[in-house]
């Protein structure tokens, strides 16, 4: 039977219905999926030798039958000894800290092991060799070469089983591979053919060939993504026009008159970039990055007022109602002496009040509408929508942006984030946007002093906080969960002493036992919206001295008088989240303090806390976060909708990403729909992968 890329995985020899389910758990449903299920490493095996040919310090591969398996738990460290036998006799293999091996093998199994031979008590043995279980010795010997591929595996589906299945399919699948590039394009970039690259990645002769294959396949993957992004950007540019919103010296003076302070140089630079975009009928698609407290809202306000000056409407969409209310209140404060009409559209607004509000929006009586995703509901119709501002862009996706497009014209888009985005992600997830960065804090702001504190020093923190509150300051306490969960007290990893603290219980403890003379408030995501709103209003007004919260305060909450934040179990949070939380303080002229309490069990947890104490620079933190977590976890695919990378690693492949970006922009500039038949296979695979998430279904 000839295997095609569309052959169901269960019909491949040796797979069957049960193993097919295990493959499907790895995302492999068709034979073609195997081609892009890439190894995570290689073992280039030494020569195959019989045990009687071995000698001290030689490196060899042996094959033998498992005779005995002994686990020595008293050894330090614990050791597993396996005796194997071939035609020449018996031989010992030993592993330290590898107890899992006893569950993988039983006497009678055939295994292959390779490594360096040493001597122990005058007997030859291998210590910690690489190994694999041999299901079919004849097949193994006939395919024996210099390399064993290590594929990402599971407890039920071992790497060698995956490797065996791929070997069976590879010849047929490679014969069906189509080339992505014309010969001169490949040669200029020193790329092998796609067929060669796929063969070398699964069957390299040496590490150099494997590296060549990886470079080529990484480039393919990054180019597809950059082509999709460039196509989307070109489509937005040449599809629906936007209303030009020109500025003038008079408009600029009128806007700045409403601002009670002088803008920073960075704010002025970004405003100039936005003004230039809005002046044309080409829809603006701009990402505004600014660290917490850098003044993005004022830049957004300038863009809003420029839109209103051109007699068009504007909308602001925030990810939470708390943040939407804050935007509404802050903008309304600036507009006190103006005739601009602003409203807040909330999901809870209903009945006659909602109908009247929607009528005013559709009739053009409202200039600025602030809301959450309630703005995307079908009955919300604008009269002439000129500008959409989306705050915390990484909480939304491409589809939310698309939803605002109207019948005849497209609005301009300004999307903002206080989550600094590493360069690599800015070029991928947000690659269809032009980028502006506010890299300067307003004058008078002092960097937040951050300390990683031992848990036993919490009483000292209480005393210091009490002194600051008596001086008129306010504080946050942040916890990782809302309420305590039932735990298994038999499990030593989850004993009560180590249990995560929760906001509800700690609020009660802090109010009754620690700060009875103060007003301690509570805020979390399961509270009713009106109750959350009231708590925040009381905290802003100073009625609440200490606010106990979960990460619901992570984004946007602005209380300049709050100068202390205590985060318990801080090692449980990601770097970006810790930075966002810390950004809630340090927003006034007073010195602020962030105390990180945590006892990390992992090196990564320790690294996160150390990084937080070293820098307040959000962009440095973002780069470190990307290194620790990887791009797939930085935002989460559910938030930005982009497929994960199969082989590219944005933390190590930045040069290839730059190369792919330049090539994609050049190709789409000359051929916006990539109609050149030399690239037809590349385009087909790119559209299959990215058309849904980037709205490219209409490009053919």
Following DSSP, what letter does each residue of 365-416 receive, concatenated? --SEEEESGGGGSTT---SSEEEEEEESGGGS-HHHHHTT--SS---EEEEE
Nearest to 511 by CA among 552, 477, 554, 471: 477
pLDDT at 422 over 70: yes
What is the spatial distance between Cα 127 and Cα 123, in angstroms, rounded to a whole number?
Answer: 12
Q: Is the pLDDT of residue 136 over 90?
A: no
Cis before 84? omega within 30 = no
- Helix locations, 143-294, DSSP H: 159-174, 183-188, 194-202, 207-238, 249-257, 265-278
Residue 497 buriedness (CB in 10 A; 0-12 / 13-18 / 19+): exposed
Model confidence band, residue 137 (pLDDT cutoffs 50, 70, 90) = confident
Which long-range contacts link 341-345 to residues 24+ away (Cβ below 8 Å)?
341/365, 341/366, 341/367, 341/368, 342/366, 342/367, 342/368, 342/369, 342/370, 343/368, 343/369, 343/370, 344/370, 344/371, 345/369, 345/370, 345/371, 345/374, 345/375, 345/380
d(Cα 99, Cα 91) in Å, to the nearest integer?
Answer: 20
pLDDT band at 641 (very low <50, low <70, confident <90, very high): low
CATH fold for domain 249-279+295-417:
Rossmann fold (3.40.50)
What is the per-residue pLDDT for 654?
85
46-144: CATH topology? OB fold (Dihydrolipoamide Acetyltransferase, E2P) (2.40.50)
Domain ranges of the chain: 1-41+151-176, 46-144, 207-239+647-690, 249-279+295-417, 449-615
A 10 A CB-CB count for 414 gives 30
Q: Which CATH class is domain 1-41+151-176?
A: mainly alpha
Q: How confident is the model at residue 485 (pLDDT cuts 50, 70, 90)?
A: low
Q: DSSP letter at 157? A: S
E strands in 517-580: 520-523, 546-549, 562-568
Read off the pLDDT of each residue in 61-77 and give the average, rounded to a whole number: 91
pLDDT for 309? 95
pLDDT of res. 364: 92
Cβ contacts of residue 518 below 8 Å, gap of 6+? 466, 469, 511, 545, 546
Helices (H) and strands (E) in the chain, counts: 25, 21
211-252 pLDDT tens trace: 999 999 999 999 999 998 888 888 777 677 889 999 999 999
Confidence of residue 396 (pLDDT cuts 50, 70, 90): low
What pLDDT, in 10s, does the model give residues 535-549?
Answer: 988 998 999 999 999
Do 303 and 389 touch, CB atoms closer than 8 A? Answer: yes
Q: Do domains 249-279+295-417 and 449-615 have the same CATH topology?
A: yes
For residue 638, what pLDDT is reported?
39
Judged against a pLDDT cut of 50, whether residue 143 lies above it is answered with yes
Using 50, 70 and 90 to split pLDDT, how confident is the model at 374?
A: confident
pLDDT band for 492, please (50, 70, 90 cuts): very low
Closest by Cα among 688, 697, 681 to 185:
681
Q: Is pLDDT of 497 > 50?
A: no
Q: Are 468 and 671 in contact (CB under 8 A)?
A: no
Mean pLDDT over 631-644 rounds to 52
d(CA 604, CA 574): 10
Contact between residue 108 and residue 101 where contact means Cβ atoms under 8 Å apart: no
- pLDDT for position 496: 47
Q: What is the mean pLDDT of the chain?
A: 87
Superfamily of domain 449-615: P-loop containing nucleotide triphosphate hydrolases (3.40.50.300)
| CA dist., res. 350 & res. 372, Å (int) | 15
In angstroms, rounded to a whole number, what is the distance separating the alpha carbons of residues 686 and 667?
14
Q: pLDDT at residue 428 above 70?
A: yes
Quick one: 13 exposed, middle or buried, by C-beta within 10 A (0-12, 13-18, 19+)?
exposed
Cβ(416)–Cβ(300) below 8 Å: yes
Residue 513 · residue 539 · CB < 8 Å: no
Does residue 80 contact residue 38 with C-beta atoms inside 8 Å? no
> 78-87, 430-439, 471-480, 506-515: lowest mean pLDDT where?
430-439
Q: Which of 657, 656, 678 is closest to 667 using CA atoms? A: 678
Least confident of 431-445, 490-504, 665-679: 490-504
Listed ranges 181-185, 395-399, 439-443, 600-604; the one with the highest mean pLDDT: 181-185
Q: pLDDT at position 494, please?
A: 43
Going by C-beta distance under 8 Å and a sequence separation of 6 or more, which residues neighbour residue 492?
A: none
Enumerate the β-bridge partners of residue 597.
Answer: 453, 568
* Higher pLDDT among residues 76 and 152, named by residue: 152
Q: How far out from the chain centre does Cα 365 lie?
A: 40
């Amino acid at each position: 039977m000839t295997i095609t890329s569309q052959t169901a995985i269960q019909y491949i020899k040796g797979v069957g219905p049960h193993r097919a389910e295990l493959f499907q758990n790895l995302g492999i449903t068709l034979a073609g999926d195997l081609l892009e299920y890439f190894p995570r490493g290689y073992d280039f095996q030494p020569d195959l030798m019989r045990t009687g040919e071995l000698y001290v310090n030689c490196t060899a591969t042996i094959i033998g039958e498992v005779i005995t398996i002994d686990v020595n738990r008293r050894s330090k460290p614990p050791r597993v000894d396996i005796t194997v036998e071939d035609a020449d006799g018996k031989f010992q293999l030993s592993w330290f800290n590898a107890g899992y091996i006893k569950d993988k093998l039983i006497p009678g199994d055939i295994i292959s092991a390779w490594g360096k031979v040493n001597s122990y008590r005058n007997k030859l043995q291998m210590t910690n060799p690489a190994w694999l279980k041999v299901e079919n010795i004849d097949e193994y010997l006939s395919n024996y070469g210099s390399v064993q591929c290590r594929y990402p595996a599971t407890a039920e589906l071992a790497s060698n089983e995956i490797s065996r299945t791929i070997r069976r399919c590879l010849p047929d699948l490679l014969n069906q591979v189509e080339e992505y590039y014309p010969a001169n394009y490949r040669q200029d970039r020193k790329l092998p053919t796609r067929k060669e690259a796929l063969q070398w990645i699964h069957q390299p002769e040496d590490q150099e060939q494997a590296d060549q294959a990886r470079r080529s396949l990484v480039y393919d993957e990054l180019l597809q993504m950059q082509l999709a992004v460039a196509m989307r950007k070109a489509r937005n540019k040449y599809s629906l026009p936007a209303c030009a919103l020109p500025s003038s010296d008079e408009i600029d003076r009128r806007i700045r008159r409403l601002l009670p302070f002088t803008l920073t140089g960075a704010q002025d630079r970004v405003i100039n970039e936005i003004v230039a975009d809005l002046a044309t009928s080409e829809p603006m698609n701009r990402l505004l990055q600014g660290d917490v407290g850098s003044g993005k809202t004022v830049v957004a306000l300038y863009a809003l007022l420029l839109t209103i000056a051109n007699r068009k409407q504007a909308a602001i969409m925030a990810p939470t109602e708390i943040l939407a209310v804050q935007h509404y209140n802050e903008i309304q404060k600036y507009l006190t002496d103006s005739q601009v009409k602003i409203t807040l559209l909330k999901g809870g607004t209903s009945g006659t009040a909602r109908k009247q509000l929607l009528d005013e929006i559709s009739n053009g009586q409202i200039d600025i509408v602030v809301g959450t995703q309630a703005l995307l509901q079908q009955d919300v119709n604008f009269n002439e929508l000129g500008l959409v501002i989306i705050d915390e862009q990484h909480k939304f996706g491409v589809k939310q942006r698309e939803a605002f497009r109207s019948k005849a014209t497209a609005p301009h888009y300004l999307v903002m984030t206080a989550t600094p985005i590493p360069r690599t992600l800015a070029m991928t997830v947000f690659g269809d946007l032009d980028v502006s960065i506010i890299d300067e804090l307003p004058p008078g702001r002092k960097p937040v002093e951050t300390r990683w504190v031992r848990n036993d020093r919490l009483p000292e923190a209480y005393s210091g906080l009490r002194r600051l509150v008596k001086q008129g300051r306010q504080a946050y306490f942040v916890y990782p969960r809302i309420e305590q969960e039932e735990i298994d007290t038999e499990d030593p990893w989850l004993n009560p002493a180590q249990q995560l603290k929760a906001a509800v219980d700690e609020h009660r403890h802090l109010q009754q036992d620690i700060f009875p003379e103060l007003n301690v408030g509570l805020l979390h995501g399961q509270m009713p919206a009106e109750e959350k709103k009231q708590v925040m209003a009381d905290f802003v007004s100073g009625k609440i001295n200490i606010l106990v919260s979960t990460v619901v305060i992570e984004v946007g909450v602005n209380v300049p008088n709050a100068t202390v934040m205590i985060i318990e179990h801080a090692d449980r949070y990601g770097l970006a989240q810790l930075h966002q939380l810390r950004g809630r303080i340090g927003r006034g002229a007073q010195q602020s303090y962030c105390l990180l309490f945590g006892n990390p069990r992992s090196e990564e947890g320790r690294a996160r806390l150390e990084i937080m104490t070293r820098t307040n620079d959000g962009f440095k933190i973002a780069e470190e976060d990307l290194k620790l977590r990887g791009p797939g976890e930085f935002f989460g695919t559910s938030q930005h909708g982009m497929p994960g990378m199969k082989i590219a690693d944005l933390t190590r492949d930045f040069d290839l990403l730059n190369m792919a970006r330049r090539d994609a922009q050049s190709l789409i500039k000359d051929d916006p729909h990539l109609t050149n038949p030399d690239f037809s296979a590349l385009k087909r695979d790119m559209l299959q992968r990215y058309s849904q998430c980037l709205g490219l279904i209409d490009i053919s």
